[in-house]
Chains A and B, each alone.
Chain A
Amino acid sequence: MNHAHADNERRELLDQIRAIEFMTIDLNLYLDTHPNDRRALNEYNYYTRQLQALRKEYEMRYGPLTNFGYSLSQYPWAWINEPWPWEEDHYMEGC
């Protein structure tokens, strides 16, 4: 498996996490003003479970998504590993 392929897989999983997390964010805001909507709450819990499973899968393969005690780290401390979220190594070479 070459590097570009592994990077694509990582990115795909991250996109999946983002899509599910988007559902939880949007439902969360909706529930803030509709706390008695049982259907929305069930959906929130449904996507939250999916998100927890996806995060776990990602972190096992690519390292922690969160710090401060929310994710375990292998040796050496993996939190500092690149890329950081604002670095998508797509752009052209600098001058």
Chain B
Amino acid sequence: MWVYEKKLQYPVRIKNPNPKMAKYIITQYGGPDGELAASLRYLSQRYHMPIPEAKAVLNDIGTEELAHFEMVGAMVYQLMKGACPEEIKMADVGTYFADHDNAVYPSTGTGVPFTAAYIQSKGDPIADLHEDLAAEQKARATYENLIKLADDPDVIDPLRFLREREIVHFQRFGEVLQKVREYMESKKYF
């Protein structure tokens, strides 16, 4: 069961619409290293984790990723809101506009729709946790690219927050991997 909290995890208050930036950022909504993929990956993998610490971390990080999914959605929404068709044309976001108007749709910036093919749920905790560690690094790298593309502090601030969370998640997954390894070793030899 999940309960919704009527607030963002970290504030998103973007004063100036910028459809081009929305097009860059949307990949973290519905792209291969985005927040939706992260959440579905961890929440699907948690069923096969062998120890309580691993189940808890996947459950809780998978939940936090949903809050990040909402933050990225809010960023795209606010960046697209109020942009005129002229601005959208100038920003080269017409192809997105034609399909979705100013709406928020889970896809990459080039229009590839979200797919579960971005994730794996292998049933092998060691393999899954390695994927999770890589996923956090890929998301961190994407946020760094987005920060390089952004020039508005209203946009950079939440991107920085999201980048930092990837680093914390990577740390926790590393600890879980170590504990799962120890558990599996202990089963093998005793």
Contact = CB atoms under 8 A, between A and B. Distances in A.
Contacts of A79: 6
A86 B8 contact: yes
Contacts of A35: 53
Interface stretch (B27-35, B77-85, B137-145): B77-85
Categorize the interface residue count of chain A.
20 to 34
A64 B78 CA distance: 24
A32 B56 contact: yes
B13 A90 contact: yes
Interface in B43-77: 53, 56-57, 60-61, 64, 70, 73-74, 77
A70 B5 CA distance: 10
Closest 6 CB pairs of A and B: A86-B74, A95-B84, A94-B82, A33-B175, A32-B56, A88-B13
Interface of B: 3-17, 53, 56-57, 60-61, 64, 70, 73-74, 77-78, 81-85, 168-169, 172, 175-176, 179
Given A30-B172, A85-B70, 15 more contacts: A22-B10, A29-B64, A29-B169, A32-B60, A32-B172, A64-B6, A65-B7, A66-B4, A70-B3, A86-B73, A90-B13, A92-B15, A92-B82, A94-B82, A95-B83
